[in-house]
Amino acid sequence: MEGVAAAASIAGILALVGQTIDGLEKLKEFYAKLATASRTVDRFLQEINSLLRALNGIEEILAKLPDGKADIHAASLRVQVEACSTDTFDWLKKAQELRPSTNKGGKAWFKSFWIVAGKDKVDDIRTELSRHRHALNTSLALIGRSLDIHSYQQMRKLDEKMDSLALLSTQEVREV
């Protein structure tokens, strides 16, 4: 029963990661279309790219995670991905709402965006992107460590079995 729940949990995380990646790609495209991107927007896009790389890595790792290995760390990762996803779609919605239909071009949009949101808002979003990336990377590290521990325990068991087989083998040789 736990295996089914673990598989469902991982499948849910994978779906959410996919949605978040899609949202971040749209957000990235939205800001990348600005004709005169400032250094702030460049840094903003770098933060988005960094978070996208982290989410793509999560997607790859979760797809390779052995069945039944979802634990408290995977649950924590799910919560963090959900928070990241919620923030991503909120930012995307705000950015789309700010884009005025009467002004043409990225420069006009960027000016109105700057007036409405201000540099501080963009910096706040960048900080949140960085925070999400850090939290996701920490969760991935914890999952990796728990898999390392599991592998070590399996190797110890295998080593003990090999020792007992070697002992049996030497006992059989003495008896002959």
Q: Which residue has the tokens 């068991």?
A: 157
H and E: helices and strands count for the chain: 5, 0
pLDDT of residue 84: 86
Q: What is the pLDDT of residue 161?
A: 92
Write the single-letter amino acid at 167.
L
Q: State which H helix or E strand residue 148 sits in.
A: helix 118-175
Per the rule left: phi > 0, alpha: psi between -120 and 50, beta: everything else, 66 is beta
The SS3 call for residue 35 is coil
Q: Which residues contact 23 (CB under 8 A, 6 or more apart)?
A: 85, 88, 89, 92
Does this model's pTM top 0.75? My answer is no
Tell me the average pLDDT across 41-60. 78
Cα torsion for 49, 50, 52, 56, to the nearest 10°?
A: 130
pLDDT tens per residue across span 66-96: 666 556 777 778 788 888 888 888 877 766 6
